Every structure is written in structure tokens, then in C-alpha cells.
Copies of this chain bind each other. A is one copy, B any other.
Amino acid sequence: MKSDEYSFASDNCAGVDLDIMRALNDVNQGYVHSYGDDVYTNKAKETIKNMFGGKASVYFVYNGTGANVTGISQLVHSYHTVFCSQVGHIHVDECGSLEHNAGCKVIALPSTDGKIFPEQIAPLLVGIGDEHRSQPGLISITQSTEYGVVYSQEEISKLAVFAHDNNMHLHMDGARISNAAAALNLPLRAFTSECGVDLLSLGATKNGLMFGEAVVFLNEALDKCYPYVRKQGMQLHSKMRFIAAQFEEMFGTDRWLNNATHANNMAQRLVRGIEKHPQITITQKVQCNAIFAILPESMIPDLQSLFHFYVWDESKGEVRLMTSFQTTQQEVDHFVDAINRLMQ
């Protein structure tokens, strides 16, 4: 069975890191208690907790939408508003799951690179205590953003202070948090728990797992009833060791960082290869593993016949190119060569 040979469409098009595969095989022996009451799960939870400074409540779920939606549902009431960016995954790519499950309002703020700031939210905090108005509940940011850009520690701290000053919580969608850490050259806790983030969706599927995501309450006091929310949210896995083993393998070693660094490097290689062409405009800072670029429109179909990638904004001829842990130098170079060829 043939697969798409070279894909720059999404880091989700990659397979599973071979060491993760090995870890899955290793853990497949004998019987263990189901639903997470097993040594593998306890160990992986401990590993993650320690990554964030020793104070965190860790729960495994199936995927990013599951982590975002059940985690946020734990922190807001249906009369709350969740603020996020206009391109936020929870707003654009989860089919309204947050509204359906938490019953809350989502207010999406304009953003050119996926980042949002307290200054945008402050003027919206009107009608506090007015029963006619949805009340401010939570700010959700994505690190790295849907445009591959990273928040600095200072930016995150300011958001956290602002959120807490206004009785809100701060959530981080960390679907690509490892890429952000690699870009920032910081440990994960330096821009999460240490900056006041309350809730983290710790993703790693795009970085080499088969499935699974962690919901991490960095503010431990906030997870009170979350086990029920997770189960009700259809996110409790029976054979939990198979999620836990992946997380242990990924975060109990430097694999998360190495894979992300590699993906980021491949993006750098790619952008360096194509940015020299004056007909190509790189539209976002390339900090992680995403490149947004406006290509000559006529070139796109030819290129798509050779490589799988998405046109992001048809009106502008803007494409998105994603690299991953699996991307090879050869793949990048072939892509760059193809561009060069088409440019002649």
C-alpha cells in the first residue's frame, strides 16, 4: 500500500516515532489494571508532573480536542466567555466542540500571527456582574500558535497576571509545545507553570506519538471533579498503559526536544532554501515547524502534484508547509529543488 511520498501538509501526516513504537511493544505484556490504575500510568504521570516543577495534576486523554474541551470545561461554567484568537484551534478547527460541551461563549480576537494580548481583552471586560452578560472565564492561547509563532515568557506571564487579576484562568493549547520549547531554548516549565499558566493541553502526537494527549492542571487545586468530566467527555481510555508508555518514552527522555528541534531545523532549512526567490513572500516568522508563504499562483498546482501540502488562503496564494520529526533533509532538498526548477 503506497503512501503520500513527501508530505508537508501537516505534522499529523507523519507516522509514529520508532522508539515510541518500541515502547508500545515493550509495555505489551501480561495484565494490568485498566483505566489508568497501573504502574505505567502512575510513572508517566509522575514524569510529567516533575517536568512542571512537581506540582501538577496529570490526566491522559485521546487527542487535542479532547484535552482542550474537557480541560476548559472543568474550569468554566456555561455562563462564562472563553477568549482566544481568531485562528485558535478551539475556535476554528474543533467544530464548535467547546460551545457544545461547556455550553459557554467563545470570543475570538483578531490576530495576524495567532497571538493575543491583554490589551485586546481589557476593553471587552464590561458588564462584570451583570446577569445579562456572559462573564469572563478563561483565556486560551496556543503555543506555538497556529501560525508557527511563539509567545515569549514575558508575554505569557502578562496574560496570566491579567487573567488572574480578572478572575479568569489561563489555558495553553500545547499541541506543538515541544516545538515552542525548542524555539525558545527553554524547558517546558519555564513558559508554563513558571509563568502562571493554569491548564495545559500537552500534545505530542504531532511530534511522534500514535495517539494520546495529557491534560495538565498546573494549578493542582483546579482538577477537583475532572475525572468525571473526562469520562463524560468520552476521553477515558481502558488500556491506559498504551498512552502512558508513549508519554513516558517521549517525556522521560529528551525525545520530545530532539524531535521538535529536528522539525524546527527542517523548517529553517526549507525557508532558507526558498526565501531567496523574490517571487516568494514568507508571511510569518518561522520560529517552529510551520512556514507560511505566498507562492506564484501558477506554481502551486505543479508543486502539489509532487508534494502534499495545503493552500492556506486561496485569495492570497498563501500556502502552509509543515515539517515534522519525520521530515528528512532529502525531502526538504527535493522540495527546494522543485521550487528552483519551477522558478526558472
Contacts and interface: CB of A to CB of B under 8 A. Distances in A.
How many A residues are at the interface, by size bracket?
Answer: 35 or more
A320 interface: no
A105 to B, nearest CB: 4
Q: How many monomers of this protein are in the complex?
A: 4
Contacts of A79: 95-96, 100, 225, 228-229, 231-232
Contacts of A14: 31
B33 A13 contact: yes
A63 B233 CA distance: 11
A4 interface: yes
A242 B133 contact: no
Contact of A211 (B25, B100, B242, B308): B242
A2 interface: yes
Contacts of A241: 15
Interface stretch (A49-57, A65-73, A271-279, A285-293): A65-73
A104 B103 CA distance: 8
A239 interface: yes
A323 B204 CA distance: 34
Contacts of A284: none
A215 to B, nearest CB: 12
A2 B241 CA distance: 13
A236 B95 CA distance: 11
Contact of A131 (B3, B18, B131, B227): B227
A77 B95 CA distance: 11
A33 B15 contact: no
Nearest to A108: B107
B210 A63 contact: no
B30 A9 contact: no
Given A93-B132, A210-B239, A28 B13 contact: no
B39 A2 contact: yes
A209 to B, nearest CB: 8
Interface string A86-127: 000000111111011101111000000000000000000000
A134 interface: yes
A160 B28 CA distance: 40
B63 A238 contact: yes
Given A31-B4, A79-B95, A235 B234 contact: yes
Contacts of A104: 96, 99-100
A189 to B, nearest CB: 26
Given A100-B78, A105-B96, A326 B234 contact: no
Given A231-B95, A233-B234, A308 B225 contact: no
Interface of A: 1-7, 9-10, 12-16, 18, 21, 24-25, 27-35, 38-40, 43, 62-66, 69-70, 77-81, 92-97, 99-101, 103-106, 131-135, 205-206, 210-211, 225, 227-239, 241-242, 308, 326
